[in-house]
Amino acid sequence: MYRLAAFDMDGTLLMRDHKIGGATLNALHQLVENGMILTFATGRHYIDMKGILSHSGINGYLITGNGTRVCDVEGEVLYGMDLPAELVEFVLQTPWQTRASIHIFRDDGWFTDCNDPALLTAHKTSGFQFQLTTLSALPLTGNHKICFIASHQELIELKTQLEQQMGGEADFCFSAVDCLEVLPRGCNKGAALERLSHRLNLTLADCMAFGDAMNDKEMLSRVGLGLVMGNALPQLKQELPQLQVIGRCEQQGVAHYLQHWLSSPHLTYSPEF
């Protein structure tokens, strides 16, 4: 019996209106009633997530910033990892051949020099907003991650530049098709969930997890039961062919799976696409 359920947010729980659907919320509450520990593992900032969960009337452990922070249900930071100061300085001072906008995430918020109101659409539920600033004026320490936002093709080309220049000093992942993240080396949702599980006297074998993007890969591949959304990026499905594919986010596929798991775990699951 699994004892912890970890959920990605965008493309997994959050629908097009950036809210958790009613059927999914009911299923999450049923998990809690059955003694399951809820964990929300996301690229979003802690402030953003607290707003979303408060609006949804649900709570749980939080893995935010793609593993850069792990917090308990009261908001206490259990684990944190930041980018090295010299790497932040290098990224900000290097004239990358790209039109991508740059975004930096710290404990006190989201910072950018790109004033694009369209970026706020995904955060309307929580009210989380970027703070316009001169990026070079930010402290070099205390930075969780750096995000580049542009078209996918442009980011693929940028990723090649970053890897050539920085080698093994950082990790890179696509948290969305239009968002490339620079993360501390070894930092991902899977590693963060392992640390949280250990703190809760569990192992990853005691966990189930749901996700749809490449920043979910380590988490999905390492837990006892990894479940891939029907709307997941093709690359994720290709790299994790051994995992069960369930329904799509817009059809509240997580709720559909959990209702089956809670009522008939011994029967073969058939997703509704």
Active-site positions read 8
Q: How far apart are CA 230 and CA 158, in angstroms?
A: 28
Q: Residues 229, 14: contact at Cβ < 8 Å?
A: no
**β-bridge partners, 29:** none
CA dihedral 183, 214, 54, 16 (to 10 degrees): 130
Phi, psi of 100 (to 5 degrees): -65, 140
Amino acid code (one letter) for 31: L
Q: Consult the annotation and say whether 48 binds a ligand.
A: no
Q: What is the distance between the alpha carbons of residues 54 and 125, in angstroms, rounded to a whole number? A: 10
Burial (CB count within 10 angstroms: exposed 0-12, middle 13-18, buried 19+), residue 119? middle
Tokens at 42, concatenated: 């996301």
Q: Which residues are annotated as a binding site for Mg(2+)?
A: 8, 10, 212
Q: Which residues are annotated as a binding site?
A: 8, 10, 212
